[in-house]
Each structure stands twice: as structure tokens, then as C-alpha cells.
């Protein structure tokens, strides 16, 4: 059973009389990986800072594990781990020594927990090397290790894939999926890398100009954006295009894209068949997360 770990309701925030957030609401349950996406300046980082108590909330509430961030900050934040862009690491120390320093900040983090976390993030063979010898991807994994030492049930990451190569991104993706599945952790991740988010997020929240324009499961977001788009495989796409008219586009010699309500598809098929067009298949054209994002936001530049 899923429990709500993070609940943001009607968040407002202004800077110098300019309203940045205009009633942002979202929630993260245990086991969720919520992709938080939006164009440049949409309010993603501001929202994250309000959640973490790094900025004062104008109006609205942030509740983590049942505790209000403003009214009971220490209890609210006690089971939260976070990385804002690149983790803070001591480059001249080993990975282990970096973890040992963070462990000293908590009462209940012992050597067993450090070893457990090192294994979880896959750094067993390099944990005693200096961080200066780590790749960027390894440093990011060490940062995640720091963030989860105290066994949080909520992990918040702001643009964690910045600067990572494909291998580093893959390692981070696998790690986050593992944390959500095996540790039952809720994860909120803000990123501009939509193709990567699509590969491991199960929920999406799209924000534009400080307003949430869509929040749902990843599949529902893609399906809603895809509604009314169908791909029909035929023997002659040019002829089929002429028969159907402006609601269709020829993709190649054998495929046409049709923009129409589902109820009209049988009539379109009948029209094609009566004109001796052979139909081999019909399928809904499911958009990618990136396509859905541009459709919802009007194609603004991504942060």
C-alpha cells in the first residue's frame, strides 16, 4: 500500500512583487519516482527550495511524513535526503571519509550502515580512493550515498544528470530505480533530460509559469497528449491521404497519421476500403514524454 510522503498544497511564492509560484500542488508516495519538469524559469527549483525549507513559503503548505515544514521543520526534514545539482564533496578525502564525516552528523548511522550504503550505490571497489580520482558519475553516486545514510524515505534531486555522460546517467537511473523498488523510497527528481526520465519515472508533474498544468502517471500523461492521433498502415499512403483529407498526413509510402476522435476511425476505415485502399494495421500514436511536454507547454525551452 502506498502512503503519501510529501504533499505540497497551493504553494505561492513571490520575489520583488513578481509571483513565481501560483498555487503549485503535488504529492509523492513511497515507491514513486516523480519527474518534475517544466520550461526555464517555470518554478521547479523554487518549489524544491520551499519543500526543503531553504526559502520561506509565501502561501500554502508543505507536509512531509505528516509534519508541516514551517511548523515542525526538524521532524518534517528528518527523513529527507537531497542533492541540489552537484553534491558537496571533499575532493582530497576518500569516498569513505566523506561518508564518515556525514555520518557524524547523525546519531544512528554506524559502520554497518556506511558499508550497506556503499554497496547500495555500487562503490565497494573505489570507496577508499580519493574523490578527486572519481568520475563525475561516481561522485554523483557518492552524493546519493551521503543523502541516504540516515535512511530517509524521501529523496529530492534537482538536475542530478547535469554533466553526466551516458554511462553515468545509466548508473544513476539504475540506482534510483533500485532505491524506489528495494528501499520503498519516494523520489522527486527535477531534470531537463526527458528521455531519461521517461525510462524510469512512474509519475510526472509538469509546471509552466508557476502553475502545474499536468500531474498524473507517466503513461496517462503520454496517453492524454496522444489522444486523437492514429497511425494507419496502408498500401498507398498518398492516395489514402487524398481520400481522408486535411485530418491526415503521409508519414511514408505505407503509413499515414490521422488526427481524429476515436469514434470516427471506423468511418475513416470504411471510406478507405471502399476506395480500394488496403489496410494492414491501425494503432494509437503514443507520444514520448518529450512530445507530451512540448504539447503541454507550447514548446518552451527546457531548463
Does any domain span residue 276?
Answer: yes
Domain that holds residue 13: 4-223
The pTM (predicted TM-score) of the whole model is: 0.81
Q: By mean pLDDT, which of 159-163, 180-184, 221-225, 289-293 is the weakest?
A: 221-225
Say whether both 219 and 245 belong to one domain: no
Please tell me which of 185-189, 213-217, 280-284 the model is most confident about, judged by mean pLDDT. Answer: 185-189
According to the model, what pLDDT value does residue 163 have? 77
User: Which pLDDT tens digit goes with each residue over 131-165?
Assistant: 999 998 899 899 999 999 999 999 999 888 877 88
- Is 90 exceeded by the pLDDT of residue 250? no
Calpha distance 130→111 (Å, rounded):
19
Same domain, 194 and 256: no
More confident residue, 214 or 100: 100
Q: Of 223, 256, 275, which residue is a domain's last?
A: 223
Same domain, 153 and 60: yes
Q: Are residues 217 and 240 in the same domain?
A: no
Do residues 104 and 246 share a domain? no
| List of E strands, the chain | 4-15, 18-29, 33-37, 59-64, 67-68, 80-84, 154-158, 186-190, 203-208, 211-217, 229-234, 248-250, 255-259, 279-284
| pLDDT beyond 80 at 291 | no
Do 163 and 268 fall within a single domain?
no
Q: End of a domain among 223, 241, 257?
A: 223
Amino acid at each position: 500500500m502506498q502512503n503519501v510522503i510529501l504533499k505540497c498544497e497551493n504553494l505561492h511564492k513571490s520575489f520583488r512583487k513578481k509571483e513565481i509560484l501560483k498555487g503549485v500542488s503535488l504529492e509523492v508516495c513511497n515507491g514513486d519516482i516523480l519527474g518534475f519538469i517544466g520550461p526555464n524559469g517555470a518554478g521547479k527549483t523554487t518549489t524544491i527550495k520551499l519543500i526543503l525549507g531553504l526559502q520561506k513559503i509565501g502561501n500554502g503548505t508543505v507536509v512531509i511524513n505528516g509534519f508541516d515544514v514551517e511548523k515542525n521543520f526538524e521532524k518534517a526534514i528528518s527523513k529527507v535526503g537531497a542533492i541540489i545539482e552537484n553534491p558537496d564533496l571533499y575532493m582530497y578525502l576518500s569516498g569513505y571519509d566523506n561518508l564518515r564525516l556525514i555520518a557524524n552528523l547523525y546519531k544512528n548511522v554506524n559502520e554497518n550502515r556506511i558499508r550497506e550504503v556503499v554497496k547500495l550505490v555500487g562503490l565497494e571497489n573505489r570507496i577508499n580512493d580519493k574523490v578527486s580520482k572519481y568520475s563525475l558519475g561516481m561522485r554523483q553516486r557518492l552524493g546519493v550515498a551521503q543523502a541516504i545514510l540516515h535512511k530517509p524515505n524521501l529523496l529530492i534531486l534537482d538536475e542530478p544528470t547535469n554533466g553526466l555522460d551516458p554511462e553515468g546517467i545509466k548508473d544513476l537511473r539504475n540506482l534510483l530505480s533500485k532505491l524506489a523498488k528495494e528501499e520503498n523510497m519516494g523520489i522527486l527528481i527535477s531534470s531537463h533530460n526527458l528521455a531519461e526520465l521517461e525510462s524510469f519515472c512512474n509519475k510526472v508533474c509538469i509546471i509552466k509559469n508557476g502553475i502545474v498544468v499536468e500531474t498524473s502517471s507517466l503513461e496517462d500523461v503520454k496517453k492524454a497528449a496522444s489522444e486523437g492521433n492514429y497511425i494507419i498502415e496502408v498500401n498507398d499512403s498518398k492516395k489514402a491521404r487524398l481520400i481522408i483529407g486535411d485530418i491526415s498526413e503521409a508519414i511514408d509510402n505505407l503509413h499515414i497519421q490521422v488526427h481524429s476522435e476515436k469514434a470516427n476511425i471506423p468511418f475513416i476505415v470504411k471510406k478507405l476500403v471502399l476506395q480500394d485502399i488496403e489496410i494492414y494495421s491501425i494503432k494509437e500514436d503514443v507520444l514520448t514524454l518529450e512530445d507530451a511536454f512540448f504539447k503541454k507547454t507550447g514548446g518552451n525551452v527546457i531548463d
